[in-house]
Amino acid sequence: MPHEYKSFAYNPPPGLRTPEPRHGVVIVGAGPVGLAMALDLAHRGIASVLLDEGDRVATGSRAICWSRRSLEILDRLGVADKVLDIGTPWQVGRTCYGDQEVFTEDFGRDPGDRMPPFVNIQQYFIEEFLVDAVLDHPLIDLRFKNRVIDVEAGTEAATLSIKTPDGPYMLEADYLLACDGARSTVRATMDLEFEGEMFEERFLVADIEMEADFPPERWFWFDPSFHDGQSALLHRQAGNVYRLDLHLGRDANAKQEVRPEKVIPRIEQVVGPDFELDWVSVYTFQCRRLARFVHGRVIFLGDAAHVVAPFGSRGGNGGLRDVDNLGWKLAAVLQGRAPETLLESYDRERVQSADENLTQAIRATRFMTPRPGVEQLFRDQVLALAGKAEFARPWVNPGRFSQPTVYRTDAPDDRLLPALSRPGAVAPDAPQGSGWLMQALGAEARLVAFNCDPPAGLEVPKLRAEVNETVRRRYLGRADRALYLIRPDQVVAARWVAAEPKAVSAALRALWEGRE
């Protein structure tokens, strides 16, 4: 049975009658990114108005594969339990050439991690969980059927023109967060251009329901025997719903391909006749981004800022990390705890991450859909070699999976400490008593002391961590003690084996100023 989409209530906004006072934050777009953004800010005490032109969650599974980091972020926002409850955790990806398996990746599970490397769950579930949490939060004013049609970006505020079923109205905001997706109206009305590559290859994407015993693994085929396109992907989601992506080529006709008489036989060739089709769509890739994500009082996040080809799960996961990066910075600026320049570091860090995602996605796309001639030649020969030489197996590129970017930084570091938790990286999780380090870190900046006393007198919450095997491996390496300064988004800001109080207080200042 296809997912039952419920309509959320529309209420006429107050601004239809009398002008509303200027809001601190207005968020445009209640997709996964806008919803998570509103929640993250609310948890930090910042109120927001969240506008969406529709009144339902996303149609079809769309982003299905959520990374460990996304699960940690969703946990901080209070919805990870629901995701883990019905999602399908997985860790093995298998890639075939024809009918022969040529490359297997196991992302493994480490007992030091609370979260699995990936959980598959349809985007509409993620959005439903987030909407429920948003509607429960008194600091968020979620307005469905509020379509932004124009934006005036000033130096001190942004003004929005909004259309509702009851007519138009205006809103003013200190900060406008544009989370309105790949076809962002905010981006268009500000005349900002997306830069990058568009691809012409068409892919069919379908959600099918079936009672099958396919393992919860990612299966990818190059030149499959059961489909006449160049590639196919089958991946299990929550429930008995499977995701199927079939490469159709350049010349496929999108309208015809989604017709039942065309699509059903295609899918039957892959999985046999016993399935129900829940959703089908045809899409093309883009790998593009805005040159800058921060434009004065207007800040872009998620697909509104950058779009990537899907194989590698960088859309949804990248968007959540934008939220993770911006939330604490904007809250600190609005609460007067940090200078506005801190927001520049959002631009710098997330542009760096978007570029990593774009580079990876473009490489994978070229491997999957090579141009005729020499691109096709090398692609095919990598696949041929993978069947006979071990070295070529990891050269096969069915999409490289999203890993959290390690931000560039010159912050204090010590070579005795392990690379995994270097400054700029997300602090790795570790068991702590009956709980987890990630939970103990919470959403504040923190000084974490391993086998030592944190220096006194600094204005930052401190945590004395339990030292166990995982902590030793992930935080101490060749040292016997260490002090870590960790940002509110759980990124390591700086670390020392022997910390001078002066150095720690300088690093703390750099953190709140957003210095590289």
Partner 1 sequence: MTLITTPNLDGHDAFMAELLDAHRGLSEAESQALNAQLILILANHVGDLDVLREALALAGQK
Ligand X SMILES: Cc1cc2nc3c(=O)[nH]c(=O)nc-3n(C[C@H](O)[C@H](O)[C@H](O)COP(=O)(O)OP(=O)(O)OC[C@H]3O[C@@H](n4cnc5c(N)ncnc54)[C@H](O)[C@@H]3O)c2cc1C
Question: Minimal distance in Å, beta carbon 381 to partner 1?
Answer: 4
* 169 vs 154: CA distance, rounded Å: 18
Q: Which does 378 bind (CB under 5 to 8 A by kind): partner 1, ligand X, none?
A: partner 1
Q: Contact region for ligand X (CB under 6 A) — 62-70, 99-107, 347-355, 507-515?
A: 62-70
Strand ranges (DSSP E) for 146-211? 147-153, 158-164, 167-178, 194-209
Q: Which residues, numbered 149-208, are part of the site for partner 1 (CB under 8 A)?
A: none
Closest residue by beta carbon to ligand X: 31
User: Which of 25, 26, 27, 33 is in the footprint of ligand X by CB under 6 A?
Assistant: 33
* 142 vs 286: CA distance, rounded Å: 30
Q: Which does 34 bind (CB under 5 to 8 A by kind): ligand X, partner 1, none?
A: ligand X
Contact 12, 166 (CB under 8 A): yes
User: Which of 12, 24, 54, 196 is in the footprint of ligand X by CB under 6 A?
Assistant: 54
- Tell me: does residue 315 bind ligand X (CB under 6 A): yes
SS3 297: coil
* 491 vs 327: CA distance, rounded Å: 13
Q: Which residues, numbered 252-311, are part of the site for ligand X (CB under 6 A)?
A: 281, 283, 302-304, 310
- Tell me: does residue 147 bind ligand X (CB under 6 A): yes
- Tell me: does residue 385 bind partner 1 (CB under 8 A): yes
Q: Contact region for partner 1 (CB under 8 A) — 172-180, 277-285, 344-352, 372-380?
A: 372-380
CA 343 to chain centre: 19
CA distances from 91 to 38, 168, 174, 219, 320 (A): 31, 49, 43, 12, 21
SS3 73: helix
CA 24 to chain centre: 25
- Tell me: does residue 15 bind ligand X (CB under 6 A): no
- Tell me: does residue 372 bind partner 1 (CB under 8 A): no
Task: State which residue, 357 or 432, has the beta carbon closest to ligand X.
Answer: 357
- Tell me: does residue 40 bind ligand X (CB under 6 A): no
Q: 39: buried, middle or exposed (CB in 10 Å: 19+, 13-18, 0-12)?
A: buried
Which strand (E) or helix (H) includes residue 88? strand 88-90
Residues that bind ligand X (CB under 6 A): 28-34, 51-54, 58, 62-65, 123, 147-148, 179-181, 185, 205, 281, 283, 302-304, 310, 313-316, 319
Residues that bind partner 1 (CB under 8 A): 377-378, 380-382, 384-385, 389, 391-392, 395
